[in-house]
Structure 1
Amino acid sequence: TSTSSGGGDMLTLTILHVNDVHARFEQSNIYSGRCTPGDKEKNRCYGGFARIRTAVEDHRARLPNTLFLSGGDYFQGTVWYTIHRYKAMAHFLNILDHDAMALGNHEFDDGIPNLVHFLDNATFPVLASNIEDSREPTIQGKYHKSVVVERQGRKIGIVGYLTTETLMIANTGRLDITDEITAVRAEARRLKAEGVNIIIGLGHAGYRKDIELAEKVEELDVVVGGHTNTFLYTGEDPSTEVSVDSYPTVVTQSSGRKVPVVQAYAFGKYLGRLDVTFNSEGEAVEWQGNPIILDNSIERDPFILSELVPWRKELASIIAEEIGKTYVFLDGNRLSCRMRECNLGNLETDAVIHMNTKFPDDMEWARTSLAVMNGGGIRSSIDERASNGTITMEDVLTVAPFQNTIDIVELEGRHVKEMFEHSVVAYDPMALDPAGHFLQVSGFVVVYDINRPPGSRVVRLQARCISCRVPTMEDVQDSAIYKVAMPAFIANGGDGFTVISENKIKHHLTGLLDTDVYSQYIQMLSPIYQGTENRILFIDSDGLCTGMLCLVPQPQRSPMKMFTTPQSDKQENTALTITPILSTLVFALLVVSFSSIAH
């Protein structure tokens, strides 16, 4: 798209970029899960470092003014990272030879020491302009606010940035992360003062923040982002991903300058390509591009394939271990588990309850009857059509790569309610990247009204009794004490759950790894046919309940329709709704329904 006329000394940059690859060292299936032998036979595998390298090196050979950038979050997501951590990551990213990489929040998952080891071994610049590290001396000097590269004799500044949410969702030690816009603006102005007149923002803060940066930081010429797994595309979508806007998204600043913004979905399935032409003053005058789908039409680089072999041998026994079978699709899609009840969330929280039924006493039939987990902790789906439904330990580690322990926290009922209020405090039915603190549950039934202000959205909350001979669902009482099992991450206040960390009466450490709990439960329960069970319900603006039954007082509603439940993988999910007028006719069924959820 031409935006203005340009004079001589034109420079056309080819910007190649990935983001949120999440340890997909090897090729993945169409849903970015495990690529099975059946997928390979049918040429239904995508991405992987070998394909990325082929595509990048092909462009570099043909187009010398190529840049290869990453918007962060290479860490975490498969058994490759779970076992090999920073060592394999640094080794293979060095081979890919980035011109620059932005730090993502998942680069901090295993703490500052692990990240420092990675940075010590990386041979390419890693960027973040908005980190304040005065209280973490071990990381000082290991990363950069920006880097300047040259193409065709022209200086190009690349400024990194990281979402401030990282402080809440990762293990950042004593670092502080400052406002992205303020930091990027300051660094971009410094570069401009040094004669660098082409500035690229490269960061990991989400599509909306990318747009805001492009709008408000007048020095930026291009923004390359990550974090929200946003798929942008011009034309007909090439696979299952649905584009949210054109590629690039063009933002107009108050001065009239136009700034292209790009992301390239996630998991290495696509390689973004943006061609931008700059005039002699460093103004972008023309751009075009689209993500390139990394399918079987792109050969895999033989050197990367050979380098993977010795690392793969160490994973062989883990990858091959069969845990059980599933007859159904276990949905771990982020637009499912971060927005509504998902069957994989049900399976994992039920597994935690099952683990705790091994400790009954004369007063209680289990150590706890209640479990929650943050939807952001569910990282992948398990496809029942892959490998004839076989679930391997690799699948379990891909779904739950964080190696959390399961803790039990005692809370008063009023704080349990506040915990669920936090679950939907930032709920946005149109979110491109829903917040990871949305809770999946076992032993609870929660009804939300998102039309209400944050902090007052829990309309009804029931918990499964534990000091009872026949488990039933009972309304949560403010002063009663409830024992709730949860990942240690949120028990300690992660994902913003300070209501837990600041109000817990007791904190019991089981020491059990979540992956051990899940794998043992799958072995016992196999074959799996877990469904959704109306544990999490939503009231819309007309008093209708998206779920099976919902008998609650119906306050005055706004005439505005609230939302439709988002779908994953282009599959429809119909829900029976009952109007308030009919509610009295189904009261008996309601009691049975709530009680049946207790299993």
Structure 2
Amino acid sequence: MHYKKFLIIIFSFLAVFCVDINYSLAEAAHNLIIIHTNDVHGRLKPVDYDNKQDVGGFAARAKLIKKIKSQNKNVLVLDAGDIAQGTLFFKFFNGVPDVKLMSEVGYDAAELGNHEFDKGVSGVEKMVESAKFPFLCSNIRFLNNSKLQKKIKPYIIKDYNGFKVAIIGIIANDLKTLISNSQNLEVLDSVEITKNIVKEINSKVDLIVVLSHSGFEEDIKIAKAVPEINVIVGGHSHTFLKKPYQVFHGKTSTLIVQDGEFGINIGDLDLKFENKNIEKYNYNLILVDGTDKDNVFEKKIAKLYRKIYLQSNQKIGEIKVSFEGEPSTRKQLNKYGALINHSIKEKCPEAEIVFLNGGGIRSKKPWKAGAITLADVFEVYPFENLIVVADVKGSDLKSVLETSSRYFPESNAGLLQSLGLEYDVNMKEAPQIFSEDGLKIIKEGNKVSNIKINGKPLENDKYYKIAMNDFIFNGGNCYSQFKNAKNVRKTNIFVQNAIIDYIKKNSPVSVEVEDKINLY
């Protein structure tokens, strides 16, 4: 009897002791909330998106972010790049108001995106200098601009009350194929750079976050290669992740988050962690109600908009047919591509073929039959590219089409919208293989055949006059073949202006897809 009482006392003591231990561990665990955006592309005002009206807009995002920050401690606010390019705001203001507004709402850091370079390195400088938060990027080197190199940090360490968080910035390894005038940039391998930084800082911090503008698939590779990473806040691929994607490393994992595009959502990741591992998390992908706005920010944005309203809403012409329901310009030929290529052809009638990269066509709001404004044109084609005309050898043209076709049937920003072509694509044949940086063809593809230029079969040794934008001519989207071109004529005609002139001259415009890509 006394023995049983003794055991009861001992077990009671142990139970209390265990509760105390668990309570102490719970107290020791740290909490952090990560609020994140990516690929906003200049959407300062609410948009209509995927049958939803008035979603997003900076004033509404700001209200949500301010509310979360006011109700919680230890909040980290991040953006994963491509902040401003995509609307008339960028054309007029070069992204400066965007980063100033982000500074006011309290962003802690942003990663450079490839579209931060759309106004050149000088455009990057303006945005970086206007921000009160640091821009990050660890794997890029500005070869002739040491001042900018110093301002863009490879990583930062945020010191919260009781714990430290490292945020490392990385950009896509193939950046040089995504931007123009990249000769003064060096892009280093993101995995190797991240490994080196993690080795340097791991003992100094409690949590490691990578802020990545590399795309979802690349983020998975990085997470697998560097298991010490706790969270990757991603961008570039415009991926909607309703919940974090987990890459497991035995008993631990890396969480990958991304909120889609255009600021219609913000991501809200609530973490509890200890001993460098995430013990528990909760995630919300919050749809931003564009009608529920912060009044202060709304007034600032309205003031900006008034400066461009009269010009941007100027009617330039009409279209006869609706562009609603058009297939993605990254998956197949469509009317937007046909319209733009006809616009280029009218400026360069000597061209036998016209090319446009599908990723250059951006608007998610389809054109309806009726009036077209300047704003409509700039939303569909926001890039300030010039038209180039060059003679390209038939064998190089075949290789160009292999590059364009290598991802079928998957989405591909480099898919060429064309004018003057018909060709077959064998889905079972091997595609082109590129180096990791996208600058070299390692192995030629064999998917494309039966190429016809304006009805006539391709001749490998013949030169064909091709009009295109300067982005793909300079190697964008992996089109290195154009470096072999002859009789290059760089016009002073912007693609945007060609579209405007074409609509004005031919209004009301009716356009259909004439080229054919035969998949089998």
- Structure 2 residue corresponding to 1:175, chosen from 177, 185, 203: 185
User: How much has 1:165 moved relative to structure 2?
Assistant: 1.4
Q: Is the counterpart of residue 423 in structure 1 residue 413 in structure 2? A: no
Aligned equivalent of 1:493: 475
Q: 1:528 to 1:476 in 2, by over 3 A?
A: same
State the identity %.
27
Aligned equivalent of 1:481: 463
Gaps of 5+ in 2: 1-21, 432-444
Q: Give per-residue Cα distances to partners, 1:343-365, cap 9 Å, x unaligned.
A: 211111122122334xxxxxxxx
Aligned equivalent of 1:192: 202
Aligned equivalent of 1:350: 342
Residues 25-40 of structure 1 aligned to structure 2 (within 5 Å): 25-31=44-50
Tell me how far apart the structure 1 counterparts of residues 494 and 515 of structure 2 sit (CA, whole Å).
28
Q: 1:159 to 1:332 in 2, by over 3 A?
A: farther
Q: 1:293 to 1:381 in 2, by over 3 A?
A: closer
Q: Is the counterpart of residue 377 in structure 1 residue 386 in structure 2? A: no
Q: 1:445 to 1:271 in 2, by over 3 A?
A: same
Residues 53-202 of structure 1 aligned to structure 2 (within 5 Å): 53-171=62-180, 172-193=182-203, 195-202=204-211
Q: Would the aligned equivalents of 2:335 and 2:513 in 1 still touch at CA under 8 Å?
A: yes
Tell me how far apart the structure 1 counterparts of residues 208 and 357 of structure 2 sit (CA, whole Å).
37
Q: In structure 2, give the amino acid aligned to 1:291.
A: L
Q: Give per-residue Cα distances to partners, 1:519-550, cap 9 Å, x unaligned.
A: 122223333443444522211xxxxxxxxxxx
Q: Give per-residue Cα distances to partners, 1:99-123, cap 9 Å, x unaligned.
A: 1111111111221121112212210
Q: Would the aligned equivalents of 1:204 and 1:227 in 2 still touch at CA under 8 Å?
A: yes
Aligned residues: 483
Aligned equivalent of 1:561: none
Structure 1, 270-279 or 308-317: larger mean CA deviation: 308-317
Tell me how far apart the structure 1 counterparts of residues 248 and 79 of structure 2 sit (CA, whole Å).
24
Tell me how far apart the structure 2 counterparts of residues 353 and 307 of structure 1 sit (CA, whole Å).
41
Q: Would the aligned equivalents of 2:227 and 2:254 in 1 still touch at CA under 8 Å?
A: no
Aligned equivalent of 2:292: 299
Q: 1:201 to 1:275 in 2, by over 3 A?
A: same
Secondary structure in 1 aligned to 2:110? strand
Tell me how far apart the structure 2 counterparts of residues 304 and 347 of structure 1 sit (CA, whole Å).
37
Tell me how far apart the structure 2 counterparts of residues 305 and 282 of structure 1 sit (CA, whole Å).
40
Tell me how far apart the structure 1 counterparts of residues 321 and 67 of structure 2 sit (CA, whole Å).
41
Q: Would the aligned equivalents of 1:332 and 1:378 in 2 still touch at CA under 8 Å?
A: no
Tell me how far apart the structure 2 counterparts of residues 267 and 448 of structure 1 sit (CA, whole Å).
33
Q: 1:80 to 1:332 in 2, by over 3 A?
A: farther
Secondary structure in 2 aligned to 1:140? helix
Secondary structure in 2 aligned to 1:44? strand
Q: In structure 1, give the amino acid aligned to 2:495.
A: D
User: How much has 1:292 moved relative to structure 2?
Assistant: 0.4
Q: In structure 2, give the amino acid aligned to 1:300.
A: K
Residues 222-241 of structure 1 aligned to structure 2 (within 5 Å): 222-233=231-242
| Larger RCO (CA within 8 A; separation ≥ 6) | 2
TM-score by length of 2: 0.88
Secondary structure in 1 aligned to 2:255? strand
Tell me how far apart the structure 1 counterparts of residues 423 and 147 of structure 2 sit (CA, whole Å).
45
Tell me how far apart the structure 1 counterparts of residues 90 and 82 of structure 2 sit (CA, whole Å).
12
Q: 1:327 to 1:10 in 2, by over 3 A?
A: farther
Q: Would the aligned equivalents of 2:420 and 2:515 in 1 still touch at CA under 8 Å?
A: no
Aligned equivalent of 1:442: 419
User: How much has 1:17 moved relative to structure 2?
Assistant: 0.6
Tell me how far apart the structure 1 counterparts of residues 393 and 45 of structure 2 sit (CA, whole Å).
46
User: How much has 1:328 moved relative to structure 2?
Assistant: 4.1
Q: In structure 2, give the amino acid aligned to 1:250.
A: Q
Secondary structure in 2 aligned to 1:309? helix
Aligned equivalent of 1:457: 447
- Structure 2 residue corresponding to 1:317, chosen from 286, 310, 319: 310
- Structure 1 residue corresponding to 2:328, chosen from 317, 332, 336: 336
User: How much has 1:342 moved relative to structure 2?
Assistant: 1.6
Tell me how far apart the structure 2 counterparts of residues 488 and 534 of structure 1 sit (CA, whole Å).
22
Tell me how far apart the structure 2 counterparts of residues 414 and 480 of structure 1 sit (CA, whole Å).
8
Aligned equivalent of 1:512: 493
Q: Is the counterpart of residue 290 in structure 1 residue 317 in structure 2? A: no
Q: Is the counterpart of residue 45 in structure 1 residue 72 in structure 2? A: no
Q: Is the counterpart of residue 263 in structure 1 residue 251 in structure 2? A: no
User: How much has 1:7 moved relative to structure 2?
Assistant: 4.5
User: How much has 1:442 moved relative to structure 2?
Assistant: 0.8
Q: Would the aligned equivalents of 1:322 and 1:390 in 2 still touch at CA under 8 Å?
A: yes
User: How much has 1:166 moved relative to structure 2?
Assistant: 0.9
Aligned equivalent of 2:380: 399
Q: Would the aligned equivalents of 1:104 and 1:204 in 2 still touch at CA under 8 Å?
A: yes
Tell me how far apart the structure 1 counterparts of residues 163 and 365 of structure 2 sit (CA, whole Å).
48
Q: Is the counterpart of residue 213 in structure 1 residue 187 in structure 2? A: no
User: How much has 1:510 moved relative to structure 2?
Assistant: 2.5
User: How much has 1:325 moved relative to structure 2?
Assistant: 2.8
User: How much has 1:459 moved relative to structure 2?
Assistant: 1.4
Q: Would the aligned equivalents of 1:376 and 1:436 in 2 still touch at CA under 8 Å?
A: yes
Secondary structure in 2 aligned to 1:220? coil
Secondary structure in 1 aligned to 2:150? coil
Tell me how far apart the structure 2 counterparts of residues 277 and 265 of structure 1 sit (CA, whole Å).
25
User: How much has 1:95 moved relative to structure 2?
Assistant: 2.0
Tell me how far apart the structure 2 counterparts of residues 229 and 205 of structure 1 sit (CA, whole Å).
11
Tell me how far apart the structure 1 counterparts of residues 395 and 183 of structure 2 sit (CA, whole Å).
30
Aligned equivalent of 1:241: none
Tell me how far apart the structure 1 counterparts of residues 449 and 351 of structure 2 sit (CA, whole Å).
24
Q: Which has the higher helix share?
A: 2
Q: Would the aligned equivalents of 2:62 and 2:294 in 1 still touch at CA under 8 Å?
A: yes
User: How much has 1:327 moved relative to structure 2?
Assistant: 4.8
Secondary structure in 1 aligned to 2:53? coil
Q: Would the aligned equivalents of 1:231 and 1:265 in 2 still touch at CA under 8 Å?
A: yes
Q: Is the counterpart of residue 521 in structure 1 residue 516 in structure 2? A: no
User: How much has 1:507 moved relative to structure 2?
Assistant: 0.6
Q: In structure 1, give the amino acid aligned to 2:354.
A: A
User: How much has 1:452 moved relative to structure 2?
Assistant: 1.0
Q: Would the aligned equivalents of 2:324 and 2:367 in 1 still touch at CA under 8 Å?
A: no
Structure 1, 437-446 or 172-181: larger mean CA deviation: 172-181
Secondary structure in 2 aligned to 1:284? strand
Tell me how far apart the structure 2 counterparts of residues 59 and 411 of structure 1 sit (CA, whole Å).
56
Q: Would the aligned equivalents of 1:248 and 1:288 in 2 still touch at CA under 8 Å?
A: no
Q: Give per-residue Cα distances to partners, 1:274-304, cap 9 Å, x unaligned.
A: 111112x1310011212100124x6111111
User: How much has 1:151 moved relative to structure 2?
Assistant: 2.9
Q: Give per-residue Cα distances to partners, 1:353-408, cap 9 Å, x unaligned.
A: 22334xxxxxxxxx2232111111111145245xx743210111111111111111
Aligned equivalent of 1:560: none
Aligned equivalent of 2:351: 368
Gaps of 5+ in 1: 33-42, 234-246, 358-366, 465-472, 540-599
Secondary structure in 1 aligned to 2:489? strand
Q: In structure 2, give the amino acid aligned to 1:429.
A: P
User: How much has 1:28 moved relative to structure 2?
Assistant: 1.1
